[in-house]
Amino acid sequence: MAEAAYVRRFNPYHRVLHIIMATSFLGSVITGMPLRYSDTPWAPWLMRALGGYEQAGYIHRICAAVTFGYFFSHLIFAAYYIAFVKKFRFRIFGPESMVPRLKDLKDVYGSFRWFLGLGPRPEFDRWTYWEKFDYWAVFWGVGVIGLSGLCLWFPAFFGRFLPGWAFNVAAIVHSDEALLAAGFIFMIHFFNTHMRPEKFPMDTVIFTGRVPIDEFRRERPLEYGRLVREGRLARLKTGPPPNWLLCLAVPYGALLVVTGLLLLVLILLGMLVY
């Protein structure tokens, strides 16, 4: 039964999009943080390693363009999925949707009870509340960092109708929101999805799209039950990820995680020196 030991969780489009997103995010953080923490000893060194502030600026803006690219690509995909794949029968507040619902609040409450040993672990469906938070945090983050970044990228254009202080505000928002995003991804997202003891050191599902069926049943019993009831599980069953995919996914995933953790150390150093 080795061939059927896995369930497909992410399609290739989402897997590729996540790699693009993770890579451009790290590129943005590496090239941006030396400015925010320009008073630290590591900042000038990192800036030189990146080829100077001008080149770092080009890399930063390329990453920004990639970010806008995946952002709109996702919106188009979501619209296409709802309209053509689901023929407008997609339940916006259903279990397969990223839209938060009452159950998520109950799950937060239930999780804290479980953490404190006051109750059982809540049963999750396709998306847990922390996964939904990650998803909407990107929406919010890309919106806020993107808009403020565009102001700072094209000041001559925006200066035609925005007052000067809007650029000061944009600079504060861009930098603070970037700190929030970087800190959140490198601490919270990394722990929630990769570093927690069940997953340590890395959950490769986002790269391979496949999750072992036992793990799937244990972690998302509601989705598992639903798939069984609706007779959809058989179609999602698949074999283990091919070796070539693992050979690509594991080192690249490790590179992303290690780079992120190193950046986290630099940011924490910057906050302590500051």
Chain residues binding another protein by CB under 8 A are 34-36, 38-39, 43-44, 47-48, 52-54, 111-112, 114-117, 130, 152, 155-169, 171-173, 176-177, 179-180, 183-184, 187-188, 191-192, 196-198
Neighbouring C-beta atoms of residue 272, cutoff 10 Å = 8
Residue 17 CB, nearest approach to another protein (Å): 24
Question: How far is residue 139 from each of residues 34, 84, 92, 144, 147, measured CA to CA in Å?
Answer: 25, 23, 17, 9, 12
> In the numeric block, which tokens belong to residue 52?
């100077």
- According to DSSP, the residues that pair with 7 across neighbouring strands are 211, 237
83/147 with CB nearer another protein: 147
% helix, strand, coil for the chain, step of 5: 75, 5, 25
Question: 213: helix, coil or strand?
Answer: helix
Q: How far is the CB of 165 from another protein (least distance, A)?
A: 5
Reduced to 3 states, what is the DSSP secondary structure of residue 238?
A: strand
User: Under DSSP, is residue 212 helix (H, G, I), strand (E, B) or coil?
Assistant: strand
The total number of residues written for the chain in this structure: 274
Nearer to another protein, 117 or 231 (CB): 117
State which residue, 82 or 152, has the beta carbon closest to another protein: 152
Q: 77 or 158, CB closer to another protein? A: 158
Cβ 79 to another protein, closest distance in Å?
A: 29
- 217 or 237: CB nearest another protein: 217
To the nearest whole angstrom, how small is the minimum distance from the Cβ of residue 117 to another protein? Answer: 7
Closest distance of CB 36 from another protein, Å:
8
